[in-house]
């Protein structure tokens, strides 16, 4: 099975480094699948579920905003945070989701609105990854 | 000959000060350990961020101009440029030349043009500029103590707001950078607009272009704010680490100086004590001699 080198770098740690068969990343315009030999591409990532196939096995990762630099033989993903499902505190994510939803119902400034929306999508991404 | 009591009070006060400096040394060294760990964890992010952005800059098609990227079309003379400085100082002093270096460099930078905007992080810089009657346009409190992504996002957003509304032309950060584990150096880093030349690859290297999905504009719109936030976060972590480092060295040398002073003073003290004893003995002996001379 052909593979490419994948690096996932979060702001607080080098999250993952190793060979990978395929990834599906949450880009700003929808999900993007990347296989070995992909054309050179740069894309922005929004918070969501990041899937990668290592040794034939699919793994899920919750990522937040960042970007990806894709080359035929390597992919570098740079994100604010990246977490394995088992690292996520479901209760905390659930609380964050409720808090964000409550806030969205109230009147707020445009910047606050974007913040809340970002918080909501981060919480949703975490919850989605842990549901599997 | 100095008075013995005077020397003793002097020694006492030095000892008290030494206790404080020594305690501060211990505190900052334990804080430094945490800060260093955070810095080590952030370093790969910083390196990857800069190298990937460099890569992306070289891949960007040349046929259009982008808001965040310097393409030479901006022909404002140097002294007319509106510059934003994000200045990172500490909340507290007693850290050697740490704050002084940042403030000195900022003042030099401010001389380059008349249209300056200052974002201040940390109490020390704020007090300094207030004393000098230099207007600080935006202050961020509590950030210097505990750098987090969330807080650096607030700084980045305020800076980008100004940039987007075309109120400033350039964004710089002034901060202390760790050179190695023992020394740090002040640095001014330009973060916006991105320059192609700063990221230019070496000659002869394979040049290729990449697709930007969905479009270069959309990608940059998301990528640049992310980059700015990341760089600010890294700078904050770096600044915090070097703050603890310089405080530790400053307090260590203060403690050593106090020890030296105590050693010298205790020598003088002992000399004074001996002199006093000798004098007393001489007095007693001469008294006894005169007594025995009288009785004979």
For B186-198, what is the mean pLDDT?
76
pLDDT, one tens digit per residue, over B230-248 is: 888 888 888 888 888 888 8
pLDDT, one tens digit per residue, over B105-131 is: 888 888 887 788 888 888 888 888 888
| ipTM of this predicted structure | 0.79
Integer Cα distance of A124 and A48 in angstroms: 8
For A76-96, what is the mean pLDDT?
87
Cβ distance A65 to B222 less than 8 Å, yes or no, reads yes
Integer Cα distance of B10 and A118 in angstroms: 60
pLDDT band at B296 (very low <50, low <70, confident <90, very high): low
Cβ distance B213 to A81 less than 8 Å, yes or no, reads no
Class of domain A4-85: mainly beta
Cβ distance A42 to B214 less than 8 Å, yes or no, reads no
Token pair recorded at residue B248: 């530790």
* Residue A58 zone, left/alpha/beta (φ > 0; ψ -120 to 50; rest): beta
Question: Of the given ranges (A11-20, B25-34, B199-208), which has the lowest mean pLDDT?
Answer: B199-208
Please check whether the two domains, A4-85 and A86-131, share a CATH topology: no
Please give the share of chain A, as a percent, with pLDDT higher than 90: 1
pLDDT of B204 reads 47
Characterize the bridge pairing of strands B116-121 and A82-83: unpaired
CA distances from B180 to B78, B123, B246 (A): 34, 26, 12
Residue in the structure block whose two tokens are 């010298």? B264
- C-beta of residue B103 within 8 angstroms of C-beta of residue B89: yes
For B87-114, what is the mean pLDDT?
83
Decide if A27 touches B, using CB distance below 8 A: yes
Token pair recorded at residue B144: 């210097």
- Report the mean per-residue pLDDT for chain A: 86
Of B192, B198, B186, B176, nearest to B226 by C-alpha is B192
Does position B255 have pLDDT exceeding 90, yes or no?
Answer: yes
pLDDT, one tens digit per residue, over B152-170 is: 888 888 888 888 888 888 8
pLDDT band at B140 (very low <50, low <70, confident <90, very high): confident
A interface mutation test: which of B38, B43, B48, B69 has the most A CBs within 10 A? B48
Which residues on A lie below 8 Å from B233 (Cβ)? 11
Decide if B26 touches A, using CB distance below 8 A: no
Which residues on A lie below 8 Å from B41 (Cβ)? 12-13
pLDDT of B283 reads 92
The 3-class secondary structure across B75-108, one letter per residue, is CCCHHHCCEEEEEECCCCCCCCCHHHHHHHHHHH
pLDDT of B98 reads 82
Q: Indicate the SS3 state at residue A69.
A: strand
Of B176, B157, B165, B168, nearest to B113 by C-alpha is B168
pLDDT, one tens digit per residue, over A32-66 is: 888 888 888 888 888 888 988 888 888 888 898 88
DSSP codes, A77-99: EEES-EE-GGG--HHHHHHHHHH
Cβ distance A29 to B214 less than 8 Å, yes or no, reads yes
Integer Cα distance of B222 and B151 in angstroms: 18
For A117-125, what is the mean pLDDT?
86
Does position A29 have pLDDT exceeding 90, yes or no?
Answer: no
pLDDT band at B85 (very low <50, low <70, confident <90, very high): confident
* Number of separate helices (H) and strands (E) present in chain A: 2, 10
Contacts of B162 (CB under 8 A, 6+ apart): B84, B117, B168
Decide if A128 touches B, using CB distance below 8 A: no
Burial class (CB in 10 A: 0-12, 13-18, 19+), B264: exposed
- Report the mean per-residue pLDDT for chain B: 82
pLDDT, one tens digit per residue, over B49-81 is: 888 887 777 777 666 666 777 766 666 777 778
Q: HSE (CB half, 13 Å, CA atoms) of A77?
A: 32
Q: Which helix (H) or strand (E) holds B293?
A: helix B216-295
Enumerate domains of chain B plus CATH numbers: 4-16+252-286 (1.10.287), 20-246 (3.40.1380.10)
Q: What are phi and psi of A42, to 5 degrees?
A: -125, 130
B interface mutation test: which of A67, A70, A83, A110 has the most B CBs within 10 A? A67
Neighbour count for residue B73 (Cβ, 10 Å): 6
CATH number for the domain formed by residue range(s) A86-131 = 1.20.5.440
pLDDT of B192 reads 77
Does position B90 have pLDDT exceeding 80, yes or no?
Answer: yes
pLDDT band at B26 (very low <50, low <70, confident <90, very high): very high
What are the domain boundaries of chain A? 4-85, 86-131
- Bridge partners (DSSP) listed for residue B83: B116, B170
pLDDT of B263 reads 94
């Amino acid at each position: 099975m052909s593979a490419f080198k994948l690096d996932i770098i979060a702001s607080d740690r080098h999250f993952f480094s190793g060979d990978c068969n395929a990834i599906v990343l949450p880009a700003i315009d929808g999900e993007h699948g990347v296989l070995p030999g992909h054309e050179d591409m740069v894309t922005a990532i929004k918070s969501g579920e990041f899937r990668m196939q290592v040794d034939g096995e699919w793994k899920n990762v919750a990522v937040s905003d960042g970007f990806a630099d894709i080359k035929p033989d390597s992919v570098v993903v740079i994100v604010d945070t990246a977490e394995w499902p088992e690292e996520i505190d479901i209760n905390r994510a659930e609380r964050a989701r409720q808090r964000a939803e409550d806030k969205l119902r109230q009147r707020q400034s445009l910047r606050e609105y974007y913040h809340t929306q970002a918080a909501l999508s981060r919480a949703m991404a975490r919850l989605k990854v842990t549901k599997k | 000959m100095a008075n013995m009591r005077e020397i003793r009070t002097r020694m006492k006060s030095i000892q008290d000060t030494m206790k404080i400096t020594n305690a501060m040394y211990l505190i900052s060294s334990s804080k430094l350990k945490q800060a260093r760990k955070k810095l080590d964890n952030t370093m790969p992010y910083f390196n990857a961020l800069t190298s990937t952005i460099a890569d992306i800059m070289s891949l960007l098609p040349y046929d259009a101009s982008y808001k965040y990227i310097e393409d030479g079309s901006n022909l404002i003379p140097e002294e007319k440029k509106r510059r934003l400085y994000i200045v990172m100082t500490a909340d507290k002093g007693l850290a050697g030349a740490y704050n002084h270096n940042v403030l000195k460099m900022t003042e030099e930078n401010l001389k380059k043009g008349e249209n300056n905007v200052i974002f201040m992080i940390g109490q020390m810089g704020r007090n300094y500029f207030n004393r000098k009657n230099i207007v600080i346009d935006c202050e961020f409190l509590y950030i210097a103590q505990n750098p987090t992504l969330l807080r650096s996002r607030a700084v980045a957003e305020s800076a980008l707001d100004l940039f987007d509304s075309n109120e400033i032309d350039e964004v710089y950060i002034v901060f202390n950078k760790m050179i190695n584990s023992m020394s740090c150096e002040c640095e001014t880093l330009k973060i916006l607009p991105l320059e192609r030349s700063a990221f230019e690859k070496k000659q002869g290297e394979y040049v290729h272009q990449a697709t930007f999905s969905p479009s270069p504009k959309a990608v940059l719109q998301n990528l640049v704010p992310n980059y700015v936030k990341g760089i600010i976060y890294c700078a904050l972590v770096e600044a915090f680490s070097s703050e603890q480092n310089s405080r530790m060295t400053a307090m260590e040398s203060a403690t050593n100086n106090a020890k030296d002073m105590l050693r010298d003073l205790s020598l003088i003290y002992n000399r004074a004590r001996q002199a006093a004893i000798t004098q007393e003995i001489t007095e007693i002996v001469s008294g006894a001699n005169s007594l025995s001379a009288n009785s004979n």
